[in-house]
Amino acid sequence: MGLDCGVEPVEATTSSCNTKNVFSWDPSQYQRYGGLRLRPALDLLAQVDHPDPQLIYDVGTGRGDMARLMAERWPQARVIGTDTSAEMLNAAAETASRVEWVEADVADWAPRQAPDIIFSNAVLHWVEDHESVFARLAESLAPGGSLAVQMPLSWGEPSHRLMRETLTAGSMGTEALRSGLSHAPVGDAGFYHRLLSPHFESINIWITRYLQVLTGDDAVFEWVSGTALRPVLAALDDEDRSLFIDTYKAALSDVYPTDANGTTLFPFPRLFIVANRRLASRIGPVGTPSRRA
């Protein structure tokens, strides 16, 4: 697998080995609700309609499920899964496939060769400065290329609000931790439509609110333990972490009650974008340098 930073021939990243996440990912915990996590990724892929992609990136590939699926759907294409997490890339590489795995941070990544599809499911909400990141991804695409992105809109949901409130009420964690959680990482649909319109010929943008039926004890806690809770728990000392977990679990169980059958309904909204660039023949006369729409 391509974890040998710096030798991957396509990458133009300046810091392919520079993992900025200060917490680690746990592929097993993330996979605990794997089927429910996969569904939005499949819904996103279902709207990607490229006739003949040659180069596909799955940015923030995680365990690599979608990269492997895209390699099957487009057998002629070279498929590369990138991620900052060595744990996730190692888990991805455990399943045999022809996908190439590369450690890279999308915050400062740009492909040397223009891809036909950049796919990124549940990743870009971890990254700051969406104006420049989305513009860079858009501009890196080949003519006719597609950008497919899904991001959770969970910041305003009770699960995430209670996380912040528990920290604040108990004065837990550092000011830096609390202020880092104080702004929504994902804008509204209009923001992304305005941002992407100059770069794309067509933009398909929608929101789906999944009503996820979870099973098991402390199901919502277990769900967020695979994602949003990881940086919070990593930033707390042992005493605060233990107090936080007890308080937060109790607050979650009030808002997300478990029924007599042991199931918990966990509503979860997500924003989807599939944007398509103009084909080269429609960009302008030969020699016109701008690839903007």
Ligand X SMILES: C[S@@+](CC[C@H](N)C(=O)[O-])C[C@H]1O[C@@H](n2cnc3c(N)ncnc32)[C@H](O)[C@@H]1O
Footprint on this chain of ligand X (rule: CB under 6 A): 21, 25, 37, 41, 60-62, 65-66, 82-85, 88, 105-107, 121-123, 126-127, 227
- Give 85 or 146: the residue with its C-beta nearer to ligand X: 85
What is the distance between the alpha carbons of residues 226 and 33, in angstroms, rounded to a whole number? 9
- Least distance to ligand X, CB of residue 140, Å: 15
Contacts of 234 (CB under 8 A, 6+ apart): 22, 23, 24
**Torsion region of 203: left, alpha or beta (phi above 0 gives left; psi -120 to 50 gives alpha):** beta
- Least distance to ligand X, CB of residue 182, Å: 19
- Least distance to ligand X, CB of residue 258, Å: 24
Say how many C-beta atoms besides its own lie within 10 A of residue 47's C-beta. 13
What is the distance between the alpha carbons of residues 270 and 5, in angstroms, rounded to a whole number? 32
- Least distance to ligand X, CB of residue 38, Å: 7
- Give 58 or 218: the residue with its C-beta nearer to ligand X: 58
What is the distance between the alpha carbons of residues 206 and 77, in angstroms, rounded to a whole number? 27
Residue 93 structure tokens: 């590489």
- Give 30 or 256: the residue with its C-beta nearer to ligand X: 30
Q: What are the φ and ψ backbone dihedral angles of 159, each rounded to 5 degrees?
A: -55, -40
- Give 8 or 83: the residue with its C-beta nearer to ligand X: 83
- Least distance to ligand X, CB of residue 279, Å: 28
Contacts of 57 (CB under 8 A, 6+ apart): 79, 80, 81, 82, 111, 115, 117, 118, 119
Let me know how long the chain is. Answer: 293
Residue 153 structure tokens: 């809109």
- Least distance to ligand X, CB of residue 76, Å: 23
- Give 119 or 256: the residue with its C-beta nearer to ligand X: 119
- DSSP code for 283: T
- Give 124 or 283: the residue with its C-beta nearer to ligand X: 124
- DSSP code for 262: S
Q: Are 256 and 158 in contact (CB under 8 A)?
A: yes
Sign of CA dihedral 237, 240, 246, 251: negative
- Give 84 or 154: the residue with its C-beta nearer to ligand X: 84
Q: How far is CA 110 from CA 137, 191, 244, in A?
A: 7, 23, 39
- Least distance to ligand X, CB of residue 286, Å: 36
Minimal CB distance residue for ligand X: 62
- Give 208 or 258: the residue with its C-beta nearer to ligand X: 208
- Least distance to ligand X, CB of residue 273, Å: 15
Q: What are the φ and ψ backbone dihedral angles of 189, each rounded to 5 degrees?
A: -60, -40
